[in-house]
């Protein structure tokens, strides 16, 4: 083994080892595996809250409210005052629009990313003091119709977007197609039979 002189004249062994090609490949393989694995985990964390509602027994994927739908909801809220609750608030469009009209508006949404985005939009548009958003799983609540019948005040109004309540007769209907909005006054739907109630689909706004 070659010797090299040290300071003071004493030789020392040359033990400097250079990484081999195989070592470099293994290192890069670990780096690539870590990056790909981390990316997949990140995609899973972001995508699952959007995919999960579509895999349930009642398919309810996120579909943003259209401007016409929002206008129809606000039309049904005219001459009203108080608070608005949006169940399945999505990206917060209806809640923010109601807050701009002076309502104290609250949105409940299963997807945590949409809740964070809704809060950001409310802050950006200057209505965060009147608009609140919370993560909540609608399907872990009591059947929605029964819950609304039990907890809403007598002067409450429920507005359903895209999907009507299956056991209630609407007091008013406006819009067409995906922009259809159904209005139910609590004094009316409480007169109906409460037996065999099932959860309803779509936005529900009560005040």
* 102 pLDDT above the threshold of 50: yes
Q: Strand 181-185's sheet: what is its strand order?
A: 131-135, 104-109, 83-87, 203-206, 157-161, 181-185, 172-174
Confidence label for 26 from pLDDT (cuts 50, 70 and 90): low
- Per-residue model confidence (pLDDT) at position 42: 47
Q: What is the mean pLDDT of residues 30-56?
A: 51
Name the residue ranges covered by the structural domains of the chain: 67-196
Q: What is the mean pLDDT of residues 140-160?
A: 80
Contacts of 72 (CB under 8 A, 6+ apart): 161, 174, 175, 179, 180, 181
d(CA 138, CA 186): 20
Q: Does domain 67-196 have CATH number 3.40.50.150?
A: yes
Q: Supply φ then ψ for residue 37, to 5 degrees.
A: -60, -45
Name which of 191, 159, 182 is nearest 80 in CA terms.
159
- Per-residue model confidence (pLDDT) at position 120: 96
- Would you report the helix, strand and coil content of the chain in percent, each value rounded to 5? 40, 20, 40
Q: What is the mean pLDDT of residues 6-22?
A: 55
């Amino acid at each position: 083994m070659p010797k090299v002189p040290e300071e003071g004249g004493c030789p020392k062994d040359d033990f400097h080892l250079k990484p081999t090609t195989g070592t470099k490949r293994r290192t890069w393989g670990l780096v690539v595996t870590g990056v790909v694995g981390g990316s997949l985990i990140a995609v899973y964390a972001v995508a699952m809250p959007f995919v999960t509602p579509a895999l349930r027994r009642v398919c309810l994927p996120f579909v943003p409210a259209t401007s016409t739908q929002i206008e129809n909801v606000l039309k049904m809220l005219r001459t009203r005052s108080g608070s608005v609750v949006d169940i399945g608030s999505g990206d917060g469009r209806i809640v923010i629009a109601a807050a701009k009209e002076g309502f104290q508006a609250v949105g409940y949404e299963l997807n945590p990313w949409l809740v964070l985005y809704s809060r950001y939009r409310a802050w950006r548009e200057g209505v965060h003091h009147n608009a609140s958003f919370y993560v909540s799983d609608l399907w872990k609540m009591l059947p929605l119709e029964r819950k609304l019948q039990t907890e809403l005040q007598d002067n409450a109004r429920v507005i359903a977007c895209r999907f009507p309540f299956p056991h209630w007769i609407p007091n008013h209907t406006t819009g067409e197609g995906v922009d259809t909005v159904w209005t139910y006054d609590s004094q009316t739907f409480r007169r109906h039979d409460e037996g065999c109630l099932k959860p309803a689909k779509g936005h529900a706004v009560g005040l």
